Amino acid sequence: MKSLVKIMPKKGVLDPQGKAIENSLKQLGFPQIKKVKQGKIIEIEIDADNESDAREIITNASNKLLANLVIEDYEITFLKED
Amino acid sequence: MRVSVIVFPGSNCDRDVAVSLKKFSNKSPLMIWHKETSLPDSDLIVLPGGFSYGDYLRCGSMAANSPIMKEVKKSAEKGSSILGICNGFQILTESGLLPGTLIRNQGLSFICKNTSLRVENDKSFFTHNYNKNEIVNIPIAHNEGNYFADENVIKDIEDKNLVAFRYCNKNGDINEETNPNGSLKNIAGIINEKGNVLGMMPHPERATDDITGLNDGEKFFTSIIESIK
């Protein structure tokens, strides 16, 4: 099955890249855009019997490597198979 | 004196730090490839600067999970001293040997320049040949050198005098203007509580030879070498 791990800067952590994108968008004429944060998405294909097993494995992987918990939060979702 | 320098794919200051160590100790360190699964007994292990694994995912995150790092952690527990410079500092925080982390520079630019640092801790294994509040000139060269940790960690580091160096100007002033990268409290380098692990973003190995115009790294290396003897 396929899973997405969405990794975002924690609240209160400086996100200079998000800020730069936000300023750029304002300059381009999007005054409605109030705030931009930049994170990353990691797509994972995984062998597991069910979503709950897969979630446990990916949680472990996220804590060990994919996210830095000092500055980032993550969220695991599963993609519907085609 | 037994020194090992760990070489990761993408390390590029490994030779510089080996040259500096040899200059003041007359002994060449061992160069250890990251895939090794054993580490010779070492008084000092150096994680050099560079771009290990192309800075993929987060700077230092891949290197922190390299086979050799298990051995580095074991040696640190046994009391070997560990020095991480620049990418080496990032590897130390990613591997949990030092608290906090290093995020993108506030101004989003790679910064390569000589910087003034104020010596905060002149008692450590790594810094005892400096005087407290001494201003030294040592270059930085990084894109992710912005030290971040939560409030409690910062308070703990400061209360225990574990800040080794802070960014400042020639007069030793520490404020927003003299902070090149946005690091909390202008922190440029820290020591762990046990005193055997130091990480710093500036490059003392680039300030040990007249040819570079800078010599303020000399006391850093002589401190370490004298501590080992």
pLDDT at A73: 97
B125: pLDDT confidence band, cut at 50, 70 and 90?
Answer: very high
pLDDT at B228: 95
Does pTM surpass 0.90?
yes
**Region B1-20 average pLDDT:** 97
C-alpha separations of A69 from A53, A66, B98 in Å? 22, 9, 14
Percent of chain B with pLDDT over 70: 100
On chain B, the residues whose CB falls within 8 A of the CB of A74 are none
SS3 B15: helix
pLDDT at A14: 84
**Region B8-14 average pLDDT:** 97
The residue to which tokens 């050099």 are assigned: B48
pLDDT at B63: 96
Nearest to B100 by CA among B51, B157, B160: B157
With beta carbons less than 8 A apart as the criterion, state whether B153 and B166 touch. no
C-alpha separations of B160 from B152, B157, B185, B190, B192 in Å? 12, 5, 15, 11, 10
| Choice among B120, B142, B203, B218 that is catalytic | B203
Res A82 pLDDT > 90? no
Whole-angstrom Cα distance, residue B204 to residue B125?
15
On chain A, the residues whose CB falls within 8 A of the CB of B61 are 65, 68
**Region A57-71 average pLDDT:** 96
How many pairs of residues across A and B have Cβ atoms under 8 Å apart?
36
Percent of chain A with pLDDT over 70: 99
**Region B61-85 average pLDDT:** 96
* CB atoms B148 and A64 under 8 Å: no
pLDDT at A16: 86
B203 is catalytic: yes
- CA B94-B95-B101 angle, to 5 degrees, is 30
SS3 B67: helix
Report yes or no: A33 at the B interface, CB cutoff 8 Å.
no
A81: pLDDT confidence band, cut at 50, 70 and 90?
Answer: confident
**Region B176-199 average pLDDT:** 97
Q: Got the DSSP string for A8-66?
A: EEPTTS--HHHHHHHHHHHHTT-TT-------EEEEEE---SSHHHHHHHHHHHIIIII
Whole-angstrom Cα distance, residue B116 to residue B167?
6
Chain B: residue whose CA lies nearest to A21: B108
For chain B, domains (ranges, CATH) are: 3-228 (3.40.50.880)
B120: pLDDT confidence band, cut at 50, 70 and 90?
Answer: very high
Strands (E), B100-227: 101-103, 111-119, 135-142, 146-148, 163-168, 187-191, 197-200
For chain A, domains (ranges, CATH) are: 2-78 (3.30.1280.10)
Burial environment of residue A49 by CB neighbours within 10 A (0 to 12, 13 to 18, 19 or more): exposed
